[in-house]
Chain A
Amino acid sequence: MTREAPLILLVDDDPDFLDMTSHVLEAAGYRVATAPDPPTALDLLGRETPCLVVTDLMMTGLDSGFSLARQIKTDPRFRGLPVIVATAIASRLGLDFAPRTGDDLSAMHADAFLEKPVLPADLLAAVHRLLARRPEGEKP
């Protein structure tokens, strides 16, 4: 009995990031869905059931990645869905987005934070760690 490979949703307005990250995740045995912006991502979340979301931070808005994460985390339909925030800008205009503690992370509604360019090994490590934390039966 073959089980379908787990689906990961990538959200980024940079097509190259979607492209390269897809290669890494697909080679590691995941299925990948991509969205260029948060509305498309939310639309996709309503139809598909990914087990993890990787989102860019700055898309249409300065912190649209955070608001997408917040919407996912506060929507009962997506309870327990892990979110990784990745961005090229750790600090912009003096705002330091890089979290230092677990509290910072939960305030961002993100489970992990990665700085671009993301090393493939780091990405896979974060994905494996978050998915391992998640009991099988809790899939949405």
Chain B
Amino acid sequence: MSDPVRILVVDDELGMREGCRRILADEGYEVETAADGLAGLELFRERGNFTAALVDLKMPRMGGLELVERIHELDPDALILVVTAYATIDTAVEATKRGAYGYIPKPFTPDELLLPVRNGLERRALSLEARRLREERQNRLLEVAFERSKCNTVIHCMTDGVIVVNRDGQVVLRNNAAARMLPECAALPLPAPLEQLACAPLTGLVTEALHATSLPLIVSREIALDQCTYMANASPVFEPGGDILGAVAVLRDITALKKLEIAKSMFVSMVAHEIKSPLAAIEGYLNVILSGVGGNDPQRDRKMLERSLLRARALRGMVADLLNLTAMETGDFVIKRAPLDLGEAVTAAAEACRERAEAKHIELKLQGADRAGAPVLADRAALVSIFTNLIDNAIKYTPENGHVAVEVEPNGMYAKVAVKDDGIGMAPEEKERAFDEFYRAKNAQTAHVPGTGLGLTIVKRLVEIHQGRVTLDTAPGKGSTFTVRLPVVKPDEAH
């Protein structure tokens, strides 16, 4: 309607051409004319936007039948009407076979021309519209199919397990993750009753979701399966009308989180135990003294008070260690790194321990501190803490009159410090756990050795913060050697 209808008139009689032009133009059609078949074909091909063609049968150069065929080839939708004085059934049938829509016998009145043109155009419009609708429908179907397969792909690629159940409790969809999580699920031909997943908590959860009556409703539960823990969320699926269609359950693997949680509460219980033991000892001593049940011998009471003080101090030390450890873990531990002389830090640590060594008549020997080689990039306080801990430890686990040797030596890219003692040493299972939090070797020889069980843990963390490594070589009765390796500053990095 908005586009004008353009009609090509092909006839070798000028009067015919102009007559048709006039009649059709009066009706609002745009008209072009050609004097023979070939000229008509050229025009049709060049302009390409004709809606209809009126074609005379008998023309020079190219006859009407051939022109009908060629135009139909160029545009199968073009409305072609044959106009001729030689009206026979045979030619009419022939023209129709080649693509003509109808036949107008000469001579004709304006109405006899216009009627078939109008009818033909109307029919053409209808068939074009029908085709458009058909194509549109086809495209929509394709689109829906594509959307559905896209949706399926997304669901199957999800890391969370997805299970969809219809309102009869039949599993109608499971994604790949769900098939991995539920061992019974992968091989199950769908649809299958929910119970066949052999996971009672999930069945219960989904059933609850199916019987949910109001939105929003999500039921959640932790489900333990095999070695894994899943967080399962189920919610009902409603039709647009509000009727329940089924339920969808999503399973998320929270095994790692769960392990962390357990490790955390284990650590908290361990800390609680380590704090409660010295407190119980202090309170116990005070109870004995205050109740007088111990006899109230002043000398004894004083000894008990001294022990209490010792335990209280150890407890405070442990709390300080714990705070440091926590700070290292959360990254709040302030480390001020600068290139410094490892030998100097080791010497300072050894001097801090000397008094305790002398009290036990232990010979504390320091070697190589004056030729430690290239500086290390480290925090001085942290370095002193590392070696004080190690030397103190060696003194604690070495009997009176024993030997502790601290050896500093450059070793390529690393500076090496070995702290050796000829003390009681450790059994393999003790060695394995030596750096664990709160682990202390417990036997008759170590019963009276004070300590928090955090010293070596702190040593290991501090060494690791400095990109170094600490190793332990020990055997029962053969003493222990702790070796710390710290990276040295390359010559071009030093200033």
Interface residues of A (CB under 8 A from B): 13-17, 19-21, 23-24, 26-28, 36-37, 40, 58-60, 88-89, 92-93, 116-121, 124
Contacts and interface: CB of A to CB of B under 8 A. Distances in A.
Given A116-B280, A116-B284, A19 B295 contact: no
A89 B276 contact: yes
7 contacts: A19-B307, A27-B293, A37-B447, A59-B442, A92-B269, A92-B272, A93-B266
Interface string B188-227: 0000000000000000000000000000000000000000
Given A13-B447, A37-B443, A117-B287, 4 more contacts: A14-B281, A23-B294, A26-B295, A59-B442
B295 A117 contact: no
Contacts of A89: 273, 276
A23 B295 contact: yes
A27 B294 CA distance: 5
B147 interface: no
B444 A20 contact: no
Interface residues of B, number: 28
B304 interface: yes
B281 A20 contact: yes
Contacts of A28: 293
B151 interface: no
A122 to B, nearest CB: 10
B467 interface: no
A23 B304 CA distance: 10
B293 A17 contact: no
B365 interface: no
B281 A37 contact: no
Most buried by B among A15, A16, A21, A116: A16
A119 B287 contact: yes
B174 to A, nearest CB: 35
Contact of B284 (A17, A26, A58, A124): A17
Given A23-B295, A117-B280, A120-B294, A13 B442 contact: yes
B285 A20 contact: yes
Contacts of A27: 293-295
Given A23-B294, A119-B287, A121-B291, A17 B442 contact: no
Contacts of B284: 16-17, 20-21, 116-118
Contacts of A116: 276, 280, 284
A46 B183 CA distance: 56
B447 A36 contact: yes
A23 to B, nearest CB: 4
B277 interface: yes
Contacts of A26: 295
A98 B49 CA distance: 99
A76 B18 CA distance: 136
Contacts of A23: 288, 294-295, 300, 304
Interface string B251-270: 00000000000000110010
Given A23-B300, A23-B304, A92-B273, A117 B293 contact: no
A19 B294 contact: no
B21 interface: no
A19 B284 CA distance: 10
Contacts of B443: 36-37
Contact of A88 (B273, B293, B304): B273
Contacts of A20: 281, 284-285, 287-288, 294, 304
B315 to A, nearest CB: 12
B44 to A, nearest CB: 92
A39 B308 CA distance: 28
A58 B406 CA distance: 36
A24 B295 CA distance: 8
B283 interface: yes
B442 A120 contact: no
B420 interface: no
Most buried by B among A19, A20, A93, A120: A20
B126 to A, nearest CB: 81
B448 interface: yes
B428 to A, nearest CB: 15
Nearest to A116: B280
A120 B287 CA distance: 7
A60 B284 CA distance: 22
Given A24-B288, A118-B284, A14 B269 contact: no
B287 A15 contact: no
Nearest to A89: B273
Contact of B281 (A16, A58, A59, A93): A16
Contacts of B307: 16, 19
A27 to B, nearest CB: 4
A26 to B, nearest CB: 8
B485 interface: no
Contacts of B444: 36-37, 40
